[in-house]
């Protein structure tokens, strides 16, 4: 039975091979998107996730559905839109921090609204995972996220929310105003220390917890340093990140969220769940692809 529902936009991603993006003539193609990445990592960890979205009636949309299904993700709630295209992104990779160029304006996923997801999608899952990327896509996607928060929590389903601030999608001021209420509504919230500083000016993990005190679990990620989990009425738990040789960092946060959620779903301790997140993130950090190719389901 499905255990996690993720909702968001999946895109075709193209990464240049052997040269910067401006000079490349060879590319590696794959599927990426914050929520679809989480679903694929969860499937690789033995869970039964659903990914819900909209894609265009084009070969890119077909590839996304096929790729995610081959990894063990339930794609039955992906709607094919006959009038809008599937989004595409290009990476310009660097170990220090890749630049991402989006071609997703007016995409099929940007037309998601509160009514697009049928009620049965929520009937069996115990966690709904969302990210701050989706409300940045369009006003209708804002309504979608708000509806999913309310519907899931009315049903007693935990909502996991990754702040996932993307400066290419909206201004700091717009992101700050929209993301803070969502982070505070979540049962489980993930946020990078660097993005919290960029969006809200909060530099220390303790300050971030003071700002976002409502979630039962707040996980503050600090890159190569480690991650701290704050829980109500318990002392914070910190687990250091393992040392890895970074090929490209995009997608590591999604992998971490999947690893942590896997630990939570299996009833593991907070420290074990943090370690699971780090282990999963290390896989994403050491490859140019968001999802390790070797884990594709048979």
Question: Which candidate in 207, 254, 279, 290 is catalytic?
Answer: 254
Distance of alpha carbon 208 from alpha carbon 156, whole angstroms: 26
Distance of alpha carbon 269 from alpha carbon 217, whole angstroms: 12
238: which strand partners?
228
Distance of alpha carbon 16 from alpha carbon 29, whole angstroms: 9
Q: Is 254 a catalytic residue?
A: yes
Distance of alpha carbon 136 from alpha carbon 165, whole angstroms: 9
Q: At what angle do helices 270-285 and 252-265 cross, to 10 degrees?
A: 150
Would you give the distance in Å from CA 137 to the centre of its chain? 14
Distance of alpha carbon 260 from alpha carbon 146, whole angstroms: 24
Measured distance between the N- and C-terminal CA atoms of the chain, rounded to whole angstroms: 20
Question: Which candidate, 98, 119, 106, 126, places its Cα nearest to that of 32?
Answer: 98
Q: Which residues are catalytic?
A: 254
């Amino acid at each position: 039975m499905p255990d996690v529902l993720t909702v968001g936009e999946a895109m075709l991603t193209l990464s240049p091979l052997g040269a910067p993006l401006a000079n490349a003539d060879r590319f590696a193609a794959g599927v990426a998107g914050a929520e679809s990445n989480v679903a694929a990592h969860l499937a690789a960890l033995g869970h039964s996730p659903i990914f819900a979205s909209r894609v265009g009636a084009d070969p890119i949309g077909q590839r996304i559905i096929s790729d995610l299904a081959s990894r063990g993700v339930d794609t039955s709630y992906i709607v094919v839109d006959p009038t809008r295209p599937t989004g595409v992104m290009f990476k310009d990779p660097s170990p220090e921090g890749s630049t991402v160029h989006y071609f997703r304006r007016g995409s099929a996923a940007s037309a998601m609204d509160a009514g697009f997801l049928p009620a049965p999608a929520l009937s069996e899952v115990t966690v709904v995972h969302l990210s701050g990327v989706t409300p940045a896509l369009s006003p209708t996607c804002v309504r979608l996220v708000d509806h999913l928060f309310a519907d899931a929590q009315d049903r007693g389903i935990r909502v996991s929310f990754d702040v996932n601030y993307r400066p290419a999608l909206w201004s700091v001021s717009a992101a700050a105003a929209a993301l803070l209420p969502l982070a505070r509504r979540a049962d489980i919230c993930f946020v990078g220390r660097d993005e919290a500083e960029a969006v809200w000016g909060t530099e220390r993990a303790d300050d971030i917890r003071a700002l976002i005190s409502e979630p039962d679990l707040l996980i503050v990620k600090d890159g190569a340093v480690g991650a701290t989990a704050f829980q109500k009425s318990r002392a914070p738990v910190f687990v250091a990140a393992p040392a890895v040789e970074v090929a490209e960092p995009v997608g590591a946060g999604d992998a971490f969220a999947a690893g942590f959620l896997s630990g939570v779903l299996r009833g593991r301790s907070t420290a074990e769940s943090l370690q699971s997140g780090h282990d999963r993130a290390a896989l994403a950090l050491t490859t140019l692809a968001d999802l390790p190719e070797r884990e594709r389901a048979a």
